A and B are shown apart, each in its own frame.
Chain A
Amino acid sequence: MNKGYLSLVLHGHLPYVRHPEHDDFLEEDWLYEAITETYVPLITVFEGLVRDGIDFRLTMTLSPTLTSMLTDGLLQERYLKHINRLIELAHREIERTKYDSRFNILAQRYLDDFKHARYIFEKYNRNLAAAFRSFQDLGKLEIVTCGATHGYFPLMDICRESVRAQVKTAVTHYESVFGRKPRGIWLPECGYQPGHDEILKESGIRYFFTDSHGILHGTPRPKYGVFAPVYCRGSGVAAFGRDLESSKQVWSSIEGYPGDFNYREFYRDIGFDLDFEYIKPYIHPDGVRINTGIKYYRITGSGDHKEPYVSDWAREKAAEQAGNFMFNRQRQAEYLHDFMQRKPLIISPYDAELFGHWWYEGPMWIDFLIRKISCDQDELRLITPSEYLEENPRNQVITPSMSSWGWKGYSEMWLQGSNDWIYRHLHEASNRMTELARTYRNTNGSLKRALNQALRELLLAQSSDWGFILGTGTHTSYAVQRTRDHLLRFTRIYEEIKSNSIDEGWLADIESKDNIFPAIDYRVHQ
């Protein structure tokens, strides 16, 4: 008999980056890197578990922007080109390193990995969203939705129509990709503002996640802390709080798993390390060095000196840390079970892209963890939030506290000197969009297209990623441009609609560029 439950939640998200006007656009690499290093390895882990008859449960967000990119023909075509170029580079690397077995064996591994990524990509007809869907259809994976473009909801509270548009557009899009309604949502950046649960309820969403203090500082005080869901007062939508202890074990900069000295060093990429003339064909045509994904060193220690990566050592370490993670959750569940007189639920959410992209061994760690939980013990069981609610329908009613999982736990990451200027414009655009949706209730032809495109531009401007990048203060020009471009496009459409002078040629041009959510309906912005 199990003592408690663990919900692993992977939040998969990337902002919408698609530039048909450029042949080779650097920021599109965010997607290509994540496909090769995170999404394909996760799909491979899931396939292996199903093949071996391991019954598992995992919860995953695939944000609407991410699924839109994964199902976009142009980006699929470009990914294939990208992976083929990497395969070519890996072949060259095998040749270059042939007299040094330490590197040669790794070059061979990269070649295998890249070929495998291409194989998986083609196996699912280039559509990795369909791959994830297949595991949901098997009942192993629960895919939750997210804000349509990952807008940060607490800073949209002044214009809740935008929160509603983010949620409703996401839900409609989810249905078109996954063939059913989403049960849960990952609020972008885990950003919760009391009252937004009402909007979730309108869309049929049963639950969402908050950071620990979202529940712990809720009113009244939650009897079971974050170890049982609560229902939001008024809406009855369930909220699940993050367990900080399990998060810290993975994320912490000191004792966090990814920092182990046997693991692969993220910052030593041959795109930067090797001779410029040699690497030139595989970096950006403008000569900008980039991460290729081929990295030969392990973290080694805290200094600059790095030793070659040894796959077996890293694998052993991943297995050991999976065991350690499971052991700690078992103890946690055991203690909580006695204390609560009820089976506790431990929610462990992570950025999906942590696994594989940043923490190379992450997918392997998940694989070990799931197998160990399934085969080595019976104190802990994996569960999805909806299954837990089915099993435990009676829960406390509270109003969770405004919170996020960002820096300092609230809105400061997205609201500081470097990015606060965007809200004046975003809020104005939201108000104007509400005005348009109220004014033009039934439309067709180019007016309808213009209204729909106006909402696309507004949603794209709202991505929290732009505010995040601006907040980090490094390499901000792309985030500034995207914010400005979408807002300017929105404003132009607004003015053209108001003056009844829609420039159809220009409209068609931006429809083809910012082509996200083909079935969008501007009337949701109310």
Chain B
Amino acid sequence: MKMMARIKEKLKRFSLKKIFPKNKKTPSGTSPSKAGAQDLPSSHQFAAEQAKFSYPQDWGGYRQTSRDLPSGYGTDKIVLCVRDPWWLYTYWEVINATWDRLKRELGDDFYKAKKILRVYDVSHIIFNGTNAHRYFDIELGLDSVNWYIDTAGPGRSWCVDLGLRLADGRFITIVRSNTVSTPLDGPSWITDEEWMIPDDMFARLYGMGFGFGKSSPVGKGWQERFKHVLSSGVSSVTSILKK
């Protein structure tokens, strides 16, 4: 928590004015790249990163591509991403054929239904659609294709269904997302310690223990060499080295 407090304090101290001092305006030029009016980060780190991409304006020298990216790719899909310990981002695509099918199947109910994101807390379980610890619904606008979800749940795992909630309360899943985990926003409560020495480093230490020095062999056959050393009276050598 101390660490978060430090980060927060750092962010509080941020002043755009300081980082992006006013540039002298010249009649035929605009000032170099600066942050916009958004609440963007502080510090020279950000200013320096942005200064890497400094150029005075969108000069339009790059040939514009006439084609646009497609609005969809023709499959039903929902993807869930983690933005930070508290927020998720999801985007989806549901093709017209699927909407048509739902309309056919549900008849009038379709038009009374709400388009919903159902957010499941699936921490530490294999989610089968019914065993979530809890869930909450977000009502969506008809045209929405993405959403930022406030989970307020650091250190948890999440899965999302895009679906329809009918007037009678039934929920119909159209498409289910991948599962993601939000990171902790503070230190872990688990304090068990486990320590490790990588195998190759251990092999080297092992070799040094037999008096081969830092460049002791770690590859194939090294055990054979040690066996050979052991069988040829190495104990007297090591005892000399100890003196």
* Distance in angstroms between the alpha carbons of A290 and B83 in the assembled complex: 35
* Binary per-residue interface labels of chain B (1-30) against chain A in the complex, 1 for a CB within 8 Å, 0 otherwise: 001101100110111011101111011111
Contacts of B189 on A, CB cut-off 8 Å?
221
Contacts of B192 on A, CB cut-off 8 Å?
220
Q: A218-B188, A272-B32, A428-B73 are known contacts. Are A469 and B53 too (CB-CB below 8 A)?
A: yes
Q: Does B43 contact A253, Cβ atoms closer than 8 Å?
A: yes
Q: Does B14 contact A253, Cβ atoms closer than 8 Å?
A: yes
* Distance in angstroms between the alpha carbons of A272 and B26 in the assembled complex: 6
* Complex interface: stretch among A96-104, A332-340, A391-399: A391-399
Q: Does B84 contact A26, Cβ atoms closer than 8 Å?
A: no
A354 within 8 A of B: yes
B95 within 8 A of A: no
Q: Is the interface of B mostly helix, strand, loop or mixed?
A: loop
Q: Does B194 contact A272, Cβ atoms closer than 8 Å?
A: no
Q: Does A488 contact B67, Cβ atoms closer than 8 Å?
A: yes
* Complex interface: stretch among B116-124, B163-171, B195-203: B195-203
A179 within 8 A of B: no
Q: Does B205 contact A410, Cβ atoms closer than 8 Å?
A: no
Q: Does A251 contact B45, Cβ atoms closer than 8 Å?
A: yes
The contact size tier of chain B is: 35 or more
Q: How many A-B residue pairs have CB under 8 A?
A: 273
Q: A273-B24, A403-B183 are known contacts. Are A411 and B44 too (CB-CB below 8 A)?
A: no
* Complex interface: stretch among B55-63, B127-135, B228-236: B55-63
A409 within 8 A of B: yes
Q: Does B21 contact A267, Cβ atoms closer than 8 Å?
A: yes
* Distance in angstroms between the alpha carbons of A471 and B63 in the assembled complex: 22
* Distance in angstroms between the alpha carbons of A34 and B41 in the assembled complex: 23
* Distance in angstroms between the alpha carbons of A147 and B83 in the assembled complex: 20
* Distance in angstroms between the alpha carbons of A340 and B6 in the assembled complex: 22
Q: Does A25 contact B61, Cβ atoms closer than 8 Å?
A: yes
The contact size tier of chain A is: 35 or more
A199 within 8 A of B: no
* Complex interface: stretch among A80-88, A128-136, A369-377, A418-426: A418-426
Q: A220-B192, A353-B48, A395-B196 are known contacts. Are A475 and B58 too (CB-CB below 8 A)?
A: yes
B96 within 8 A of A: no
Q: Does A477 contact B84, Cβ atoms closer than 8 Å?
A: no
Contacts of B195 on A, CB cut-off 8 Å?
394-397
Q: Does B28 contact A217, Cβ atoms closer than 8 Å?
A: no
Contacts of A155 on B, CB cut-off 8 Å?
81
A473 within 8 A of B: yes
With CB as the reference atom, state the residue of chain B lying closest to A225.
B3
* Distance in angstroms between the alpha carbons of A471 and B36 in the assembled complex: 10
Q: A26-B55, A259-B44, A401-B183 are known contacts. Are A390 and B201 too (CB-CB below 8 A)?
A: yes
Contacts of B24 on A, CB cut-off 8 Å?
267-268, 272-273, 304
Q: Does A358 contact B44, Cβ atoms closer than 8 Å?
A: yes
* Distance in angstroms between the alpha carbons of A465 and B38 in the assembled complex: 18
Name A464-482 residues within 8 Å CB distance of B. Answer: 465, 468-469, 471-478, 481
Besides A408-B84, A485-B65, 5 more A-B contacts (Cβ < 8 Å) are: A267-B24, A272-B26, A288-B57, A358-B47, A395-B196
The 4 closest A-B pairs by CB, nearest first: A289-B29, A410-B84, A473-B36, A393-B201
